A and B are shown apart, each in its own frame.
Chain A
Amino acid sequence: MYLAAEHFVRAPQWTWYILGYFFFAGLSGGSYALATLLRLVGDARDEAAARIGFYASFLTLLVCPVLLTADLGVWTRFWHMLVNVTPGDPGLNFTYGSPMSVGAWVLFVFGLFAAVSALEAFVLDRRGRSTSSAGPARPLGGVLGRGFNIAGGILALFFASYTGVLLSVSNQPIWSDTWMLGGLFLASGLSGSAALIALLTRYRADAVFSLGRLNEADGYFSILELVLLVAFFITIVAAGTASLTLPWFPLWVLALVGIASPLVAARGHMRIRPAGGSAVIARAGTDTLVVSVLVLLGVLALRAAVIFSAQ
């Protein structure tokens, strides 16, 4: 047995602010990662959806430090996460064994990437140039730009996942009884981000091209999330703490609905085909709205269920 099964700990009372932070961190990291993939491996016509992803990443990121700071007992000391104020030991704080410490730095550094990428997308949109990712028109074009996006994408994947690891690196029941939370939150974040970008394509006609691909990706992410959710429950059943999830059964059901929705949608009826005509596109738009909302609710419900079940 590699995990503790008997706990005598006090709950940290991480509730609404932290739930909000975990939700937006998943969407911010996931959106940036998907935007990078759309730009780097997608068709030139995926650039519009990629820019939506960069905007979504930055806007959801803006909420994160606000929520984190509001949750602190002494909010004016938020900067103590990064700077050591111990007398005689000045310098920066970085504790690699503390996911909260690592996460604070990743939030800071990833924030710079998200801001620059969103700014670049804004500049490109303002110029009103072609959505092509190629050519010198891009402020961050060429190898440098790709490298920048890849580095940001790696940070984004970490940012979307570390919140789960943070919970596991504790002595709380459920959280510390599994290794799956980091992966589960990441898969959920990617799924939610695909749904969010798909939802936002409603407001940008040139991004509709990517809708089918986003739906397909969301289906894959949902399968991954489902596998991790099963693994999560197997580990907490083995640890004997699964019964703590029962009071939050409705939230788990909502999370499952969020996981199942893209799988149903990915069966094909939502695929956008350029020759499909306006009726097909209109129906797809309605379906996308419903599925995206369900997925996002599922992302929120999953985190709420995990957070509240242990406390």
Chain B
Amino acid sequence: MASAIKPGESYGFFTDTSICIGCKACEVACKEWNQLEGNDPKFLADSFDNTGQLDDQNWRHVKFIDNVPDQSVDAGNGKAWLMMSDVCKHCKHASCMDVCPTGAIIRTEFNSVFIQQDACNGCRNCIAACPYSVIAINPKTGTAHKCTLCYDRLQDGLQPACAKACPTQSIQFGPLAELQQAADVRLAALHSQGVTQAELYGRDDKVYGGLNAFFLLMDKPEAYGLPNADNAGLPSRNDLGGYIAALITAVLGTIAGIVAFRRRGTS
């Protein structure tokens, strides 16, 4: 990223999973910069991934998805692990922001989604809403935590730690418009090479209005544990319907009460 970081412009990540090597430098850099203590080490016995999930201590998580077929395949036609450095998507239509009752979750001047730690009261409504399982409560602070897009670094004109540390440029940081152009070029190159399964996720507005942290995937979104466009629903989709059902029940309940309690002399 050559240009200076300017408030008022949209920034994000383009994560190209086709060149991720699973080194986890992003995880380490994120923890180092953000002073995340990390969880107690665990052996998950599931591929090379012992991080497990995004949570209050893991704001980057390199997923290892077993995509290796059981039987041997022809040379040059095989499959491999799918690796993906997952992170908060900083959605344009952010479910967490929609439901936050305290106003703790805000959109910054860099168009990222940020949880104000001194405003959050730990109600966990954002956790119930986030479709990507990104947010978690930090037991020590009692508040919700997630990737900040290195808000403090951006304010000082520095790119996020994970993008800075990524040795293969799988994680690219920059103005959203530039990233989208780069992603389109990369996708076209892969398709021209016959890698037709490659697709962009979150590049357009089909998923939560577009993601500031979007991905080039080598399989369907579901394979990576990401909701596809059909399943990417905002919590607010149930707002009106839920209230209408409650209203109808309230009317019927009131009528039932009137019928039961109406004046009719001695019962």
Contacts and interface: CB of A to CB of B under 8 A. Distances in A.
Decide whether A and B assemble into one complex: yes
Interface of A: 1-14, 33-34, 37-38, 41-43, 46, 71-75, 77-78, 80-81, 84-86, 89, 93, 95, 97-101, 104, 157-158, 161-162, 164-172, 175-176, 179-184, 186-187, 190, 209-210, 212-214, 216-217, 220-221, 224, 228, 271-274
Contacts of A86: 103-104, 106, 116, 119
Contact of A179 (B53, B222, B233, B238): B238
B221 to A, nearest CB: 10
Task: Choose among B103, B135, B142, B143 the residue with the greatest number of A CB atoms under 10 Å from its CB.
Answer: B103
B29 interface: no
A221 B124 contact: no
A95 B102 CA distance: 9
B143 A12 contact: no
Contacts of A75: 121
Nearest to B226: A8
Contacts of B235: 169-171, 176
B121 A80 contact: yes
A170 B237 CA distance: 9
Nearest to B133: A10
Interface of B: 53, 55, 95, 98-104, 106, 116, 118-125, 127-133, 135-137, 141-144, 222, 225-228, 230-233, 235-239, 241-246, 248-250, 252-254, 256-267
Given A170-B129, A176-B238, A187-B249, 8 more contacts: A10-B127, A12-B127, A33-B254, A77-B119, A85-B119, A98-B101, A168-B242, A171-B131
Contacts of B118: 85
Nearest to A44: B263
5 contacts: A43-B263, A74-B142, A75-B121, A99-B99, A165-B239
A145 to B, nearest CB: 17
A161 B250 contact: yes
A14 B123 CA distance: 9
A41 B258 contact: yes
A43 B260 CA distance: 11
B231 to A, nearest CB: 4
B124 A37 contact: no
Given A93-B101, A176-B238, A186-B246, A98 B260 contact: no
B246 A72 contact: no
A37 B258 contact: yes
B124 A164 contact: no
Given A81-B101, A104-B101, A183-B249, A221 B256 contact: yes
B141 A73 contact: yes
A172 B133 CA distance: 10
A3 B244 CA distance: 16
Contact of B244 (A6, A158, A179): A179
A161 B233 CA distance: 23
A89 B119 CA distance: 12
Given A6-B231, A41-B263, A98-B99, A12 B246 contact: no
B127 A6 contact: no
B261 A217 contact: yes
A209 B264 CA distance: 13
B109 to A, nearest CB: 12
Given A72-B121, A190-B253, A169 B239 contact: yes
Contact of A9 (B131, B237, B238): B131
A245 to B, nearest CB: 18
B251 to A, nearest CB: 9
B267 A212 contact: yes
Nearest to B53: A10
A8 B122 contact: no
Contacts of A1: 230
B102 A217 contact: no
A79 B81 CA distance: 48
A98 B98 contact: yes
Complex A-B, nearest 5 residue pairs according to Cβ-Cβ distance, in ascending order: A73-B122, A73-B142, A182-B246, A183-B249, A220-B256
B261 to A, nearest CB: 4
A184 B252 CA distance: 12
A180 B242 CA distance: 6
B261 A46 contact: yes
Contact of A84 (B98, B103, B231): B103
B125 A9 contact: no
A191 to B, nearest CB: 9
A101 B122 contact: no
A186 B119 contact: no
A97 B122 CA distance: 19
B250 A98 contact: no
Contact of A99 (B119, B142, B239, B252): B239
Contact of B103 (A93, A182, A190, A224): A93
A98 B129 CA distance: 11
Contact of A42 (B122, B261, B266): B261
A169 B236 contact: yes
Given A74-B122, A95-B100, A182-B245, A224 B253 contact: yes
Contact of A73 (B121, B236, B259): B121
B52 to A, nearest CB: 12
A9 B99 CA distance: 15
Contact of B261 (A8, A41, A93): A41
